[in-house]
Amino acid sequence: MATSALDHAPAHAHEKSGLWSWITTVDHKRIGILYGASAFIFFLLGGLEALLIRVQLANPEQHVVSPETYNQLFTMHGTTMIFLGVMPLSAMFFNYLIPIMIGARDVAFPRLNAMSYWVFLAGGLLLNASWLVHAAPDQGWFGYANLTERQYSPGPNVDFWIVGLQVLGIASLAAAVNFFVTIINLRTKGMRLMRMPMFVWMSLVTQVLLLLAFPVITVALVMLMMDRNFGTHFFIPAGGGDPILWQHLFWVFGHPEVYILILPAFGIVSEILPVFSRKPLFGYAAMVFSGCFIAFLGFGVWSHHMFSTGMGPFADTFFSLMTMLIAIPTGVKIFNWIGTIWGGRLEFKTPMLFALGFIAMFIIGGLSGVMHSSPPADLQQTDTYFVVAHFHYVLFGGSIFALTAGAYYWFPKMSGRMLDEGLGKVHFWLMMLGFNLTFFPMHFLGLNGMPRRVYTYPADLNFGFWNMMETVGAFVLMVSLLVFIYNLLRSVRHGVVAPADPWGGATLEWAIPSPPQEWNFAEIPEVSGRDPLWEWERARGGKLPEPQRVSGKGIHLPNPSYWPIVTAIGILVFFTGFIVGFPYVNIAGVLVTFIGIYSWAFEPA
């Protein structure tokens, strides 16, 4: 078996190799892989933090870690999973797939794309560098003022968090502009908006959310930084400021952020379900519009995170009804997914298992969401483990299940080899078991009085049993991830060689070799419908021939460049200056950034 796999080892897609070629690459596929690999490592780090949290909470009155460390762990777990885990894992799929799915050879701004990645990596490293100086952020991922003000958080912990998020924000905004322009401008002939794959549609909506939501958090973080460093008092009541202002600004960003995390997952699942049901997506137009509607409403519900602040009955009513309204387009999506598999011929390959698991788990997360859309009920539920259960069903049961489905689905395209199906199924069932064992009991704990973000709890509140079960569940999850890692490492070298179209896919990425050549398409395709490959197969009356690898002579591709990474280093140095409090560092950062951008602008394409 191994020998035959080696005999058929795929011709290497990238003629260039070596570290330098990765540092200077502007190829969207390689950048996608860089995003994926880095984000997966950060994701494992966030998982490790979660395991430590679970160990500390396994029994009442434990002191495995100090309260201070515990607060750092949950802050970094949340921040890492959101900004360094789920978002860049989605970015891996944006990078790798969007250009191919719309029939393009690269993104609109390849070097900006490289810069986004390097800035993201810089932000992730900067944030985690805080561990090395024992000053990891410890104020929660929501960073509520006035706890984050200098008076109550004198150390550099909050500074690491502020500048880390600012750096990551630059990466997200640059990438959002890039993908927005790419999707609008680089679609191939015949690829009308209403013919785009659903993943591209949901990605487009996500970019719009990023463009509108990130400036808000950027401004809020600048205000907080000014409060801490330059004597302003935006959020300091003694100086006439208002800590509630922070909450509004944070959640005007924070709620759309939830949809930034989940809409790409919706897109991934909408690609996978039709392929393994052998039938097109049910209600395409409704899926597009419900996605847009969710994004639009997502900007009008932020205060449902603040029902316990006492906003008064009219504000409570407005934000409550708006929140309930979001359940309607979300429900439409779930029903259309079920409509897609209804009457199909379902093949339970690993990607399909994860996609179906996504629907089953996301329903639970959605329903508990409706439960705390009611402000009176939320007065009991907010800041308890009930909410922790809710958003893990949305972000883990939702986003992570879908991203894993996507990983199994597109791994053959990216690597040229299949992931092992048997290990994939073990991974799925272990993850399903571990996930539910970890997070389902949190519903009971929350309703029965266990608040969030507490480093321990008294024995007489009887929270011990379920906390222990959850910790066991977390270790089952860890084992499932080890199975996945083993599968990845083994398959990337020894997996069965993948054909161009291993699943019978409908979208353009399956029309080109696995892995694709640097230029994606030797000839730019033209499409006339939503499922081009299926249409071509129908027209031909059978499977399409395996695409041949060709020499890319005459195809113009952007040159590699090291100026994006130089620019990213400049940005990193500039922001580090705010932590070390030494203005020359900031000035040096500006200079390097300026040199980077200047040289990049005058470099021949």
Partner 1 sequence: MSLRLALRRQARVWAPAMFLVVLALAGCARDYPQTTLAPKGDFGRIVDHVFMTTFWWATAVFVLVEGALLYAIVKFRARPGAPEPEQTHGNTTVEIIWTIIPAAILAMIAVPTVKAIFQTAKEPGPEALQVEVIGHQWWWEFRYPALNIVTADELHVPVGQTVNLRMTTVDVIHSFWLPTFAGKRDVFPKRFNNIWFKADTTGVFSGQCAEFCGVEHGRMAFRVVSETPEEFQAWSTRQQMGSPLIGGGMVPDTTVATALAAATGDSLAQVDSILARGKAAFMSGGCIGCHAMVGTPMAGQTALIGPNLSHVGSRHTIAAGTLPMSDENLARWLHNPDAVKPGVLMKLPRPLTDDEVTALVAYLRLHQ
Applying the rule CB under 8 A, the residues between 82 and 141 that interact with partner 1 are 138-140
d(CA 386, CA 380): 9
Burial class (CB in 10 A: 0-12, 13-18, 19+), 318: middle
* Residue 384: strand pairing partners: 451
Query: Which residue number, 75 or 182, has a Cβ lying nearer to partner 1?
Result: 75
Provide the β-strand partners of residue 417.
497
Determine, following the binding rule CB under 8 A, whether residue 539 of this chain makes contact with partner 1. no
Planar angle of CA 189, 192, 198, nearest 5 degrees: 120
Listed ranges 214-222, 403-411, 457-465, 485-493: which one lies at the site for partner 1 (CB under 8 A): 457-465
Contact 115, 568 (CB under 8 A): yes
Find the radius of gyration of the CA atoms of the chain. Answer: 24
Q: How many residues belong to the site for partner 1 (CB under 8 A)? A: 99
∠ Cα 492 493 495 (to 5°): 70
Comparison of 214 and 455: residue with beta carbon closer to partner 1: 455
Beta partners for 451? Answer: 384
Q: Report the residue from 181, 338, 496, 544 that binds partner 1 according to the rule CB under 8 A.
A: 338
Closest CB to partner 1 among 18 and 343? 343
C-beta atoms surrounding 194 within 10 Å: 10
Phi, psi of 417 (to 5 degrees): -135, 155
- Those residues with Cβ within 8 angstroms of residue 206's Cβ, 6 or more apart along the chain or in another chain: 90, 259, 260, 263, 264, 295
Which position among 345, 422, 556, 602 is part of the footprint of partner 1 (CB under 8 A)?
A: 345
Least separation in angstroms between residue 461's CB and partner 1 is: 5
DSSP 189: T
Q: Is 244 in the site for partner 1 (CB under 8 A)?
A: yes
Cβ burial, residue 87 (10 Å; 0-12/13-18/19+): buried
C-beta of residue 352 within 8 angstroms of C-beta of residue 262: no
Single residue of 448, 479, 488, 590 touching partner 1 by CB under 8 A? 448
Among 363, 468, 488, 522, the residue binding partner 1 under the rule CB under 8 A is 363
Q: Report how far residue 432's alpha carbon sits from residue 480's, in angstroms, rounded to the nearest whole number.
A: 9
Which of 44, 129, 245, 447 forms a contact with partner 1 (CB under 8 A)?
A: 447
Scanning 95-103, 111-119, 250-258, 353-361 for contacts with partner 1 by CB under 8 A, the matching segment is 353-361
The residue range among 17-25, 339-347, 559-567, 587-595 that interacts with partner 1, by the rule CB under 8 A, is 339-347
Torsion of CA 283, 284, 289, 291, to 10 degrees: 100
Window of 112-120, 224-232, 437-445, 559-567 that interacts with partner 1 by CB under 8 A? 437-445
Instruction: For partner 1, give the closer residue by CB, 147 or 557.
Output: 147
Among 15, 347, 546, 603, binds partner 1 (CB under 8 A): 347
Q: Which of 184, 194, 360, 489 binds partner 1 (CB under 8 A)?
A: 360
Structure tokens at 539: 């027209």
Stretch that binds partner 1, among 46-54, 76-84, 126-134, 328-336 (CB under 8 A): 328-336
Q: How far apart are CA 15 and CA 271, in angstroms?
A: 30
Among 62, 218, 232, 456, binds partner 1 (CB under 8 A): 456
The answer to the question of residue 60 lying near partner 1 (CB under 8 A) is no
Span interacting with partner 1, options 209-217, 250-258, 352-360, 486-494, rule CB under 8 A: 352-360
Based on CB atoms, which residue is closest to partner 1, 318 or 475?
318
Residue 312, Ramachandran bin (φ over 0: left; ψ between -120 and 50: alpha; else beta): left
Among 34, 101, 162, 432, which residue sits at the site for partner 1 (rule: CB under 8 A)?
Answer: 432
For helices 385-394 and 243-277, angle between their N-to-C axes, nearest 10 degrees: 40
586: closest CA among 169, 187, 229? Answer: 229
Query: Binding of partner 1 at residue 342 (CB under 8 A)?
Result: yes
Return the sign of the alpha-carbon dihedral for residues 556, 94, 79, 229. positive
- The contact pattern for partner 1, residues 288-327, with x = CB under 8 A and - = no contact, is --------------------xxx-xx--xx--xx--xx-x
Distance (Å, rounded) from C-alpha 27 to C-alpha 176?
17
As measured in angstroms, the least distance from the Cβ of 347 to partner 1 is 5
Contacts (CB under 8 A) with partner 1, residues 371-400: 371, 373-377, 379-384
Backbone angles phi, psi at 497, to 5 degrees: -65, 135
Residue with smaller CB distance to partner 1, 194 or 591 = 194
| CA–CA gap between residue 376 and residue 412 (Å, rounded) | 49
Compare residues 231 and 310 and give the one whose CB is closer to partner 1.
Answer: 310
- Rule CB under 8 A: choose which of 190, 215, 458, 581 binds partner 1: 458
User: Are 104 and 196 in contact, with CB atoms under 8 Å apart?
Assistant: no
Please state, in angstroms and rounded to a whole number, the distance separating the CA atoms of residues 422 and 505.
Answer: 21
The least CB distance from residue 398 to partner 1, in Å, is: 15
The residue among 343 and 422 lying less far from partner 1, judged by its C-beta, is 343
505 or 570, CB closer to partner 1?
505
Work out the angle at residue 227's Cα, subtended by the Cα atoms of residues 222 and 229, and round it to the nearest 5 degrees: 90
> In this chain, which of 460, 541, 601, 602 binds partner 1, going by CB under 8 A?
460
Q: Which of 328, 550, 580, 605 binds partner 1 (CB under 8 A)?
A: 328
Residue range at the interface with partner 1 (CB under 8 A); choices 92-100, 193-201, 451-459, 480-488: 451-459
CA atoms within 13 A of residue 402's CA, in its CB half-sphere: 29
Instruction: Write out the binding residues for partner 1, residues 139-158 only, by CB under 8 A.
Output: 139-140, 144, 146-147, 152
DSSP label of 345: -
Which range in 173-181, 209-217, 271-279, 295-303 contacts partner 1 by CB under 8 A? 271-279
Contact between 454 and partner 1 by CB under 8 A: the answer reads yes
Least distance to partner 1 from the beta carbon of 289, Å?
A: 11
Considering the complex, what minimum distance in angstroms separates the CB of residue 163 from partner 1?
21
Sign, CA torsion 132/133/138/139: negative
Cβ-based nearer residue to partner 1, 357 or 525: 357
